[in-house]
Amino acid sequence: MSVSDSRFRGRPVSGPESPRWGLAFALRVTVAPMLRALFHVRVSGLENVPEGPAILAGNHVSYLDPVLLWCVTPRPVHFVAKSEIWNSRVLGWMAERVWAFPVNRGSADREMITTATGLLQAGDLLGMFPEGTRSHVPDSGELGQAHGGVSFIALRADVPIVPVRFSGTDKAWARGQKVPRLAKVRIRFLEPVHPNQFEGGRKERMEALTAEVMRRIAAAVDVPEEG
């Protein structure tokens, strides 16, 4: 199935009536707890995830980042995934059933923006990575270059962004590593940032919002861990 003729582009991809709903919930109550235990995942700050719509925006150092974030969120979260995944029938089939939808990277993907906005307006959570791809400077205060897509969607849907800090996922599944290995992982949900905190035109607000989200993620590396 190509991305252009995907059945869910431009409309919500979740809901109890969806045939893709059942498998994801089965995975959340079976596989998700096992992965949390396997990687000794410690989660903090879940109180910062609002009951309503929000974008969860994390640093990106490993393939495990979206997987574990999907496992630990208190509510279902939809991920924006690279469109190349849908070049594989198997991966595309699975991606749809864990609430992911594609983005054509390197261009302004209006259909992705429409789908993302629709999900947020329906009260859902959206998972995105401002860096766009895995960082070359894992588990440090330095982050890769952030793109403005996350802030653009937050402004368009008028929803907060919850910064998320991953630590340890790069050790569990580093760049170039063929299979994951056991390592302790920490996931911190930080205080939300809302677009209405910033003034000026759209461009200025986008830049300020992106900068603040990335600042909080970078600063969280110095937060002492409990236990």
How far is Cα of residue 182 from the mean position of the Cα atoms in its chain?
Answer: 22
Q: How far apart are CA 166 and CA 1, in angstroms?
A: 33
Quote the pLDDT of residue 162. 97
What is the CA 180 to chain-centroid distance, rounded? 20
In a domain, 108, yes or no: yes
Residue 16 resides in a domain: no
pLDDT number for residue 6: 38
Residue 10 placed within a domain:
no
Number of domain units in the chain: 1
Mean per-residue pLDDT, 26-30: 89
The reply to whether 60 falls in a domain is: yes
* Long-range contacts at 102-111 (CB < 8 A, ≥ 24 apart): 102/3, 102/6, 102/9, 104/3, 105/132, 111/9, 111/10
For residue 191, being part of any structural domain is answered with yes
* Residue 144, pLDDT above cutoff 90: no
Residue 42 lies in a domain: yes
- Which CATH number characterizes residue 118's domain? 3.40.1130.10
Residues 183-195 have pLDDT tens digits of: 889 999 999 999 9
Any domain includes 175: yes
Helix, strand and coil percent figures for the chain, each rounded to 5: 40, 15, 45
What range defines the domain where residue 115 resides?
21-222
